[in-house]
Structure 1
Amino acid sequence: MKFLLITLIAKPDPSISDHARLREVVDNAVLAEELGFDGYGVGERHERPFISSSPPVVLSHIAAKTSTIRLFTAVTTLSLLDPVRAYEDYATLDNLSDGRIELIIGKGNGAAQAKLFHVTTDDQWDRNRESYELFRRLWREPKVTWEGRFRPSLTEAETWPRPLQKPIRVWHGSATSKESVDLAAQYGDPLFSANVTNPIEPYAELIRYYRERWEHYGHDPAEALVGAGSAGFYVARTSQEAVETYRPIYDARIALFRKVGVEPVFPTLEDAIERSSILVGSPQQIIDKVLRYHAEFGHEVMHLHADGDGLTDKQHRATLELFQSEVAPALRKDIPSRPFAGSLV
């Protein structure tokens, strides 16, 4: 199994400057490489409390500070973006990073970002599909002639620079919708399940659907590739220590949900540990839980939260070190995973 750290660059505390928060993201990516994580992902959001509106810029800075770790988008919101411009940004980054880019695409969500980009609930999936179909061709073809609904047509259009990876791998982010799952299966692309908000069952159902559609489109079942997220993370030597340390962090999250009018699916930490994908406990408890999820998902890649949330810097580093020293080796042994293709390093 391979392990990523992912951040949406949330900034719920207005007293923290944007400058400080962005520097923290870069520092966490450097730490992730130092500790041996396989990838680091940056999300894309265009509304409060997030400041992750420009992942290619953030990832370019991370690329300059690192040398081996894979650089993920989580996700690139193609329903909002001009696919030509998105291609240019990420092809440039692919070259600058020595071929370390892995894209996860999705339609995105949120009323504020839809308002900014004039995307509606009626056309968001059509935009996502159309943008991806053009985006995919731009990576593979030196000249593209194309016509669609949502951007000007192209005639023998050339896009530069050409990517270093040929072709780059594109994952499809999936939370609740069969549309993204079907798009991934149609093109033979890997799927990354959000696996954050709900219990395991709806995510397992979508992954089963992905594998069914994968075969429907004529792909070899053995080649299907799945990743999955997690809803939170803290590992300590004992379960008691893990729960005691993480409880105020979880309680603060629940209070924030209720403040904005969202009733939490898992109202207590104990409920979340029992029924959600949150990974809080001793090393063996984390191993057992990931294996239980793997039995349902068959996933080879998993993400953890990159941010310390309410942990001190010392606590954050210590839990990541413990994960890499005791949890990751056991899971890598029990769950084989294919190598990331395309990197020159």
Structure 2
Amino acid sequence: MRFQLLDIVFNPPHPVTGEAVPPADRLARVVETAVLAEQLGIDAFAVGERHAGEVLSSSPTVLLGALAASTSRILLSTGVTVLSLLDPIRVAEDYATIDQLSRGRLEIVIGKGNEALQYPLLGLDLEKQYEYLEENYELLSLLLSREQVEWVGRHRPDLHGATTLPRPFAGPFRIWHGSATSQFAVDLAARHGDPVVSANALQPRENYQVLIDRYREQYAAHGHDPAYAFVGSGSGGLFLADTTEQAIAQYRPFYEGAVARQDLRRHDPAAVGKVTSFRTIEEAVERGPALVGSPERVAEKILDYHASYGHDLQSVSINHVLEPAHQDDVLRRFAEEVVPLVKAEVKTDLWGPADARRPAGFTAAD
């Protein structure tokens, strides 16, 4: 199995003290954590994108540029690039620039995003989010793979002889599709032979399982090479301690604070995937995707979910309100005590020698 650290760059205040991390410090921590992840042998580091709410990831390409300059080995990715909101011309230009700066260490995950407020903020119709996603994806794929592109679409002006610069470092970088609540993303990925990443963060396992199963069925139905039907999975947060009981007790205020912040948004209860289905830390640990516990218990849980999902990539996130030294300790223990246990049991060709679509600049040990 491969492993990724994801930072959506949430920045709400501390749930107990009410203190807020200054934006400059929070953004600096993203870079520092990516550098540490590389040193610890984590395969990939992903940056989120949101344009509303208590987040600082409105400019993920700027952050990824800083990461490209600060690292040399780790794969860089997104989680997710909210392609429904974006001009594919700029996406092609910006991400090809990052691909060049990193010398071929880029892949991206695209999606329509999980923040409804982004659409009116940017003058777009929320009801057309899937239309935007499909059209923008198809145009982006053309721009990355061809020059002198001819294009006629529904939601943007036509293109005639369009070539975006710079070109990607070594041909088009791989595009994954983020899947959280609907089958649209998995169908789009399967139709084009791309991999998917399941959010696996807020809902019961079976809600994500049905989408992963559909992806594999549709991928096969479209006749694509099964060797590239890679699946990634998120998680409901990562926190480690010597025992699972200690981890639950220590993480409780952070988990309860996150649930309370979600409740403040007053989401429609019928809006699946907007708030967690697990109201207590005990529920999240026992029945949900939260990776909270001893290293051994967290490894067991990843393997248990792998038995359901068969995923190749495990993505984890660490709560930003922990003290920086504590964040580093959790990441270090994960890399040194959890990852080896999982890798001993789960093998994958993703990003290895057999993966012909592997990023040209990715040099992690196999």
Change (3 A) 1:251 1:109: closer
Task: Look up the match of 2:292.
Answer: 280
1:33 to 35, 38, 51: 38
SS in 1 for 2:161: strand
The reply on whether 1:335 has 2:352 as its aligned counterpart is no
The reply on whether 1:297 has 2:309 as its aligned counterpart is yes
Q: Deviation at 1:12?
A: 0.9
Task: Look up the match of 2:66.
Answer: 61
2:283 to 249, 267, 271: 271
Task: Look up the match of 2:8.
Answer: 8
Q: Deviation at 1:323?
A: 1.2
SS in 1 for 2:117: helix
Q: Deviation at 1:127?
A: 0.8
Amino acid at match of 2:264: K
Change (3 A) 1:257 1:109: closer
Q: Deviation at 1:105?
A: 0.4
Amino acid at match of 1:145: E
Aligned counterparts of 2:222 and 2:92: Cα–Cα separation in 1: 26
Amino acid at match of 2:303: L
Amino acid at match of 1:311: L
Identity %: 44
SS in 2 for 1:335: coil
Amino acid at match of 1:270: E
Aligned counterparts of 2:298 and 2:78: Cα–Cα separation in 1: 25
Aligned counterparts of 2:151 and 2:35: Cα–Cα separation in 1: 40
Q: Deviation at 1:26?
A: 1.1
Q: Deviation at 1:48?
A: 1.7
Task: Look up the match of 2:261.
Answer: 256
SS in 2 for 1:142: coil
Task: Look up the match of 1:308.
Answer: 319
Which piece of structure 1 moves more, 228-237 or 217-226? 217-226
Aligned counterparts of 1:180 and 1:339: Cα–Cα separation in 2: 21
CA deviations over 1:255-298 (Å, ceiling 9, x no partner): 22233335742111111101111001112211111111111111
C-alpha contact (below 8 Å) 1:79/1:107 kept by paired residues: yes
CA deviations over 1:23-61 (Å, ceiling 9, x no partner): 111111111111111111111100120111111110000
Which piece of structure 1 moves more, 115-124 or 222-231? 115-124
Aligned counterparts of 1:271 and 1:6: Cα–Cα separation in 2: 23
The reply on whether 1:75 has 2:86 as its aligned counterpart is no
The reply on whether 1:44 has 2:49 as its aligned counterpart is yes
C-alpha contact (below 8 Å) 1:166/1:342 kept by paired residues: no
Aligned counterparts of 1:20 and 1:76: Cα–Cα separation in 2: 23
Aligned counterparts of 1:122 and 1:325: Cα–Cα separation in 2: 45
Q: Deviation at 1:309?
A: 3.2
Q: Deviation at 1:248?
A: 1.6
SS in 2 for 1:338: coil
RMSD: 1.5
Amino acid at match of 1:11: N
Residue pairs, 1:143-222, within 5 angstroms: 143-222=148-227
Gaps in structure 1 of 5+ consecutive residues: none
Output the TM-score relative to the length of structure 1: 0.96
CA deviations over 1:165-217 (Å, ceiling 9, x no partner): 32210000000111110010011000000011101001000000000100111
The reply on whether 1:325 has 2:336 as its aligned counterpart is yes
Which piece of structure 1 moves more, 116-125 or 204-213? 116-125
Change (3 A) 1:41 1:81: same
C-alpha contact (below 8 Å) 2:47/2:79 kept by paired residues: yes
C-alpha contact (below 8 Å) 1:249/1:309 kept by paired residues: no
Aligned counterparts of 1:103 and 1:273: Cα–Cα separation in 2: 29
Change (3 A) 1:211 1:316: same
Aligned counterparts of 2:202 and 2:224: Cα–Cα separation in 1: 30
State how many pairs are aligned: 344
Change (3 A) 1:117 1:259: closer
Aligned counterparts of 1:250 and 1:236: Cα–Cα separation in 2: 15
Amino acid at match of 2:300: D
Change (3 A) 1:310 1:53: closer
